[in-house]
């Protein structure tokens, strides 16, 4: 287990706050091997794709400069023009190669750790000038890993290079018997393929380095139990943080509550101070359930949502207040209100039948019976 300066074990996984602070400081996992290998592979691929164009351009540049006469060689204007023309041709032929390298350099490294820019990482760190800490870093696990990677890369590259030379010995020997332009084309092809194979070989090193860098980064960010407790006190224990959390929770709960209003069977109001929304499905519920309730502003919002979704609204102040104070959200109404709510649902059904021309007018809203022990005066 890693230890901090006080000798305490860093046994706890880093919190989100700890990881965010590390990113702000520019402390993110990065694999140099992955970035280097990617640039080599993309470069080799770009060389393979543009090898023919590079050969043609090189041939044109050589031809242009070898055909100059003695008088032209002595003329500064002609030489400058020839130099500019040769440079333009060479640069234009290398554009695909440069684009491949740029693409690899920009896209591949962020795969480990993601994109991140931190001004704090640009600031000088005088603590790194401490010779004692420098010696400690020289004999750290990170340094040992770097040595192992260097030895592994050397061994892999040397082994693969020898195998490539052995397998292409005949092609190398044949270059001396080819015409110059054929020899150049064949040589570029051999070099490009050799570079591509060598680059792919180094993927083995990158495949080991990436998990190690992620592990090492996580290990550096690990916290002691005391650090976790202190962070919890600094965040969860602050009144402003708690207030924000409660406000967020209320906002989420209110949004979920408002989303349930369109599915309600009826909304009972005070009419302006309270509003409660009830839903009853005899196949799924033993009793009606309160899906939304609110006072003042929230009550007005419930009524607006109900009106927009054609939910029946009834004005019954005693019943609305009783349900509001004696029923929790998403809970069944008290048993003492069963009769009153049953009459409400029956009245709503009769009114809907009347509006559809299928039954008589049930008349004005009756006074629904509310037991004295469940009444709530204003």
| 54 and 157 in a common domain | yes
**What's the structural domain count of the chain?**
2
| 29 and 129 in a common domain | yes
Write down the pLDDT at residue 223.
Answer: 81
Tokens of 331: 């809970």
| pLDDT reading at 185 higher than 80 | no
DSSP-derived secondary structure letter, 277: E
Question: Using 50, 70 and 90 to split pLDDT, how confident is the model at 181?
Answer: confident
Top mean-pLDDT range of 30-39, 80-89, 172-181, 316-325:
316-325
pLDDT tens, residue by residue, 1-12: 555 555 567 777
Q: Kindly give the residue spans of alpha helices, DSSP state H, lying in the chain.
A: 16-24, 32-66, 70-73, 76-107, 131-138, 141-167, 169-174, 180-201, 203-221, 225-235, 239-260, 297-308, 317-326, 338-355
> Residue 61: phi, psi to the nearest 5?
-65, -45
| 271 and 362 in a common domain | yes
Question: Using 50, 70 and 90 to split pLDDT, how confident is the model at 240?
Answer: low
Question: Using 50, 70 and 90 to split pLDDT, how confident is the model at 93?
Answer: confident
Of 222, 239, 266, the position where a domain reaches its end is 222
Of 222, 247, 277, the position where a domain reaches its end is 222
Cα angle vertex 136, ends 22, 217, to 5°?
A: 25
Of 206, 222, 238, the position where a domain reaches its end is 222
Q: Among 167-181, 196-210, 221-235, 345-359, whose mean pLDDT is lowest?
A: 221-235
| pLDDT reading at 209 higher than 70 | yes
Tokens of 35: 């970035």
Which one is predicted more confidently, 338 or 230? Answer: 338
Q: Is residue 245 part of a domain?
A: no
| 268 and 181 in a common domain | no
> Bridge-partner residues for 292, per DSSP?
277
| 291 and 217 in a common domain | no
What percent of the chain has a predicted confidence (pLDDT) above 90?
Answer: 3
Q: Which long-range contacts (CB under 8 A, 24 or more apart) does 16-21 make?
A: 17/231, 17/235, 18/221, 18/223, 18/231, 19/221
| 133 and 91 in a common domain | yes
pLDDT tens, residue by residue, 321-344: 999 988 888 889 988 889 999 998
| 156 and 38 in a common domain | yes
Write down the pLDDT at residue 171.
Answer: 85
Q: Is residue 67 part of a domain?
A: yes
pLDDT tens, residue by residue, 143-175: 777 788 788 888 888 888 888 888 888 888 888
Q: Is residue 14 part of a domain?
A: no
Q: Is residue 242 part of a domain?
A: no
| pLDDT reading at 135 higher than 70 | no
Q: Are 68 and 82 in contact (CB under 8 A)?
A: yes
Question: Using 50, 70 and 90 to split pLDDT, how confident is the model at 235?
Answer: low
Rounded to whole angstroms, the Cα distance separating 48 from 247 reads 60
Q: Is residue 38 part of a domain?
A: yes
Q: Are 19 and 221 in contact (CB under 8 A)?
A: yes
Q: Is residue 12 part of a domain?
A: no
Burial 211-226 (b: 16+ CB within 10 A, else e): ebbeebbeeebbbbee
| 266 and 204 in a common domain | no
| 320 and 204 in a common domain | no
Q: Is residue 11 part of a domain?
A: no
| 265 and 216 in a common domain | no
Question: Using 50, 70 and 90 to split pLDDT, how confident is the model at 277?
Answer: very high
CATH of the domain at 260: 3.40.1690.10
Record the pTM.
Answer: 0.46
Domain span at 297: 256-374
| 132 and 269 in a common domain | no
Write down the pLDDT at residue 122.
Answer: 58
Top mean-pLDDT range of 62-71, 122-131, 190-199:
190-199
| pLDDT average, residue stretch 306-317 | 89
| 345 and 281 in a common domain | yes
Q: Is residue 235 part of a domain?
A: no
| pLDDT reading at 292 higher than 60 | yes
| pLDDT reading at 126 higher than 70 | no
């Amino acid at each position: 287990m890693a230890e901090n300066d006080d000798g305490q074990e860093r046994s706890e996984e880093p919190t989100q706050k700890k990881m965010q602070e590390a990113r702000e400081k520019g402390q993110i996992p990065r694999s140099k091997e992955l970035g280097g290998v990617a640039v080599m592979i993309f470069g080799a691929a770009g060389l393979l794709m543009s090898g023919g164009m590079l050969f043609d351009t090189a041939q044109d540049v050589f031809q242009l400069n070898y055909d100059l006469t003695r008088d032209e060689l002595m003329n500064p204007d002609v030489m400058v023009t020839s130099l500019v023309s040769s440079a333009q041709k060479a640069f234009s032929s290398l554009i695909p190669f440069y684009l491949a390298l740029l693409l690899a350099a920009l896209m591949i490294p962020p795969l480990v750790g993601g994109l991140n820019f931190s001004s704090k990482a640009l600031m000088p760190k005088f603590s790194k000038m401490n010779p004692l800490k420098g010696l400690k870093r020289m004999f750290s696990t990170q340094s040992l890993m770097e040595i192992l990677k260097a030895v592994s890369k050397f061994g892999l590259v040397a082994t693969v290079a020898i195998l490539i030379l052995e397998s292409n010995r005949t092609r190398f020997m044949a270059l001396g018997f080819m015409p110059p332009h054929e020899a150049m084309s064949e040589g570029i092809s051999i070099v490009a393929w050799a570079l591509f194979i060598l680059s792919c070989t180094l993927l083995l090193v990158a495949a080991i380095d990436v998990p190690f860098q992620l592990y090492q980064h996580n290990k550096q960010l690990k916290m002691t139990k005391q650090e976790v407790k202190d962070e919890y006190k600094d965040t969860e224990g602050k009144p402003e943080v708690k207030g924000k959390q409660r406000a967020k929770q209320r906002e989420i709960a209110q949004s979920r509550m408002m989303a349930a209003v369109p599915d309600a069977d009826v909304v009972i109001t005070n009419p302006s101070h309270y509003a409660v929304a009830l839903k009853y499905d005899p196949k799924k519920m033993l009793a009606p359930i309160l899906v939304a309730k609110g006072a003042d502003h929230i009550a007005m919002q419930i009524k607006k949502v109900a009106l927009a979704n054609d939910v029946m609204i009834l004005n019954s102040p005693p019943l609305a207040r009783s349900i509001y104070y004696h029923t929790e959200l998403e809970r069944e109404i008290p048993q003492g209100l069963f009769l009153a709510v049953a009459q409400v649902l029956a009245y709503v059904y009769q009114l809907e039948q009347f509006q559809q021309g299928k039954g008589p007018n049930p008349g004005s809203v009756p006074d629904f019976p509310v037991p004295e022990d469940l009444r709530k005066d204003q």
